[in-house]
Amino acid sequence: MNLAAATNENLANISNVLIYSSMAVYTLAFLAFIAEWVFGSRSKVGRTAAALTARGADASAPAVTVRSGGSTTVLDKPKVVTRSAAGTRDVPDGPGAAGGTEKGDLYGRVAVSLTTLAFLVEAGGVIARALSVQRAPWGNMYEFSITFSTVVVGVFLGILAAGKNVRWAGLPLVTTVLLDLGIATTWLYTDSDQLVPALDSYWLWIHVSTAIFCGAVFYLGAVGTLLYLFRDAYEAKLARGGEPGRFASSVLERLPSAASLDKFAYRVNAAVFPLWTFTIIAGAIWAGDAWGRYWGWDPKEVWSFITWVAYACYLHARATAGWKGRKAAYLALFAFACWLWNYYGVNMVLNGLHSYSGV
């Protein structure tokens, strides 16, 4: 073994250590998020019920003052009042996991800091892996998985940094990241290896990086959709005058309103759909160069297509009157399930040209 190979081996080991360390930090972040939810449960706001009983009275429509541009020093700037869209309940967003409690908020902040730290450590692990194999770190499922969870957390932190309050997604997110990393390190681990010439193309960079990014964003959309379904059921029950269980009210009360969650999911999915379209086309171009055909209905191609059509279906459903809301949400979940299956199932269960060596 020569020197270069030895450094590569070293880097691969460093990468492994970093990935395991990030798992440790994510676990701490997980606990902190739990603490946020636990302390937040002491708040007893019940705004949703209040808003729903005060229905009809315009008082429930939240008056929102929006940034009014320019630097004029008019004392009395016009305030913009918003009303929610037709047919939706006028319900304010929940206060977030911390429930407005100081202690909960503190833990929430700690959790976000820990998540950021874990993200940096994990990103370091991914980069070390890339350096050790001297190529993009997505040549097999293990590498794909660690890159994927890094990007998911990155997108989440990016949205937080952009000033959107999505801390409510923190707990489900970190939970799945831990699961993903657990599966990756236990079952998918492969020693660093080289790509075969067919994978050696700049289209690989383009196609796979956008695929991973799309997956990460679709995942956030799916979390939003799932929570929407719960929250919507909760609101509907309240509106009917029902009384949801204590745990359900405690947790769901603190989430954003169903309308907000639904919008969040839609925006996230819609924003990334053109990129997903591009990903598939880039893949076809690459396949054309590598295998001499642009589209050959290889299982991976089939499932990318299915995922694409399913998301197109979802977007259509949103535009069609009778299909908004829960029905559209089920479609979105179906579409994400297709994506997930394409990522895990197709590689492991169905064999095609795309199956990576060593899983």
Partner 1 sequence: MSKTETTGETTGEAAEAAEHDERELGEAGAQLSTAPQERAVPGSFGGVMGPGAAGRIAWVWRETTGWTRWFWRQLTSMRVALILLFLLSLGAIPGSLVPQTGVDETKVEEFKAAHETLAPIYDDLGLFDVYSSVWFSAIYILLFVSLIGCIVPRTWQFVGQLRSRPPGAPGRLTRLPAYTTWRTEAEPEQVREAALAMLRQRRFRSHTVGDAVAAEKGYLREAGNLIFHIALIVMLVSFAAGQLFKSEGGKLVVEGGGFANTLTQYDDFKSGSLFDRDHDLAPFSFTLDKFVGTYERTGPQRGTPRTYEAHVTYAKGADGAEKKSVIEVNRPLEVDGSKVYLIGHGYAPVVTVRDGRGKVVFKDAVPLLPMDSNVTSSGAIKVMDGYRDKDGKKDQLGFQAFFVPTFAGAGKGTMLSQYPGLDFPVLALNAFHGSLGVNAGLPQNVYQLDKRKMKAFKDEQGADLKQRLLPGETMKLPGGAGSVTFEKGVREWATFQVSQQPGNMPALVGAIAAIAGLAGSLFIQRRRIWVRAVRGKDGVTVVEMAGLGRSESSKLPEELADLAATLNSQAPTAPDPAEPVEGVRA
Alpha-carbon distance of 274 to 279, in angstroms, equals 9
State the nearest-atom distance from the C-beta of 214 to ligand HEM, in Å: 14
243 binds, among partner 1, ligand HEM, none (CB under 5 to 8 A by kind): none
Q: Enter the tokens of residue 81.
A: 């009042």
Least distance in Å: CB of 221 to ligand HEM? 14
Give, to the nearest 10 degrees, the angle between helix 258-291 and helix 299-319.
150
Using rule CB under 6 A, residue 164 touches ligand HEM:
no
Q: How far is the CB of 87 from ligand HEM (least distance, A)?
A: 16
Phi, psi (degrees; rounded to nearest 5) at 93: -70, 150
In the list 159, 183, 237, 323, the residue contacting partner 1 (rule: CB under 8 A) is 323
**Please, which of residues 267-326 interact with ligand HEM by CB under 6 A?**
312, 315-316, 319
- Dihedral sign of CA atoms 41, 46, 49, 55 in order: negative
- Using the rule CB under 8 A, is 209 a contact of partner 1? no
- Of 247, 238, 241, nearest to 47 (Cα)? 238
Which tokens go with 224? 């939003």
Q: Min. distance of Cβ 321 from ligand HEM in angstroms?
A: 11
Site string for ligand HEM, 234-263 (x = CB under 6 A): ------------------------------
Contact call for residue 163 and partner 1 (CB under 8 A) = no
| CA–CA separation, 108 and 114 (whole Å) | 10
Angle between helix axes 170-186 and 202-239 (nearest 10 degrees) is 140
Which CB, 291 or 295, lies closer to ligand HEM?
295
303 binds, among partner 1, ligand HEM, none (CB under 5 to 8 A by kind): partner 1
* Residues between 45 and 84 with contacts to partner 1, criterion CB under 8 A: 56, 58, 64, 66-70, 72, 74-84
Could you tell me how far CA 356 lies from the centroid of its own chain? 25
Regarding 183 and contact with ligand HEM (CB under 6 A), the answer is no
Query: Which residues in the 271-300 window bind partner 1 by CB under 8 A?
Result: 271, 273-274, 277-278, 281, 285-286, 288-299
| Range 219-278, binding partner 1 (CB under 8 A) | 263, 266-267, 270-271, 273-274, 277-278
Instruction: Tell me the site size for ligand HEM, rule CB under 6 A.
Output: 4
Are the C-beta atoms of 148 and 181 separated by less than 8 Å? no
Chain-centroid distance of CA 286 in Å reads 27
**CA separation for the pair 330, 222 (Å, rounded):** 10
In the bound state with partner 1, the residue whose beta carbon lies nearer, of 145 and 269, is 269
330 binds, among partner 1, ligand HEM, none (CB under 5 to 8 A by kind): none
Residue owning tokens 């949801």? 244
How far apart are alpha carbons 19 and 149 in whole angstroms?
Answer: 11
Smallest distance, partner 1 to C-beta of residue 140, A:
12
Q: Are 118 and 22 in contact (CB under 8 A)?
A: yes
Residue in 333, 251, 212 with CA at minimum distance from that of residue 43: 251
Q: Is 142 in the site for partner 1 (CB under 8 A)?
A: no
Q: Footprint of ligand HEM on this chain (CB under 6 A)?
A: 312, 315-316, 319
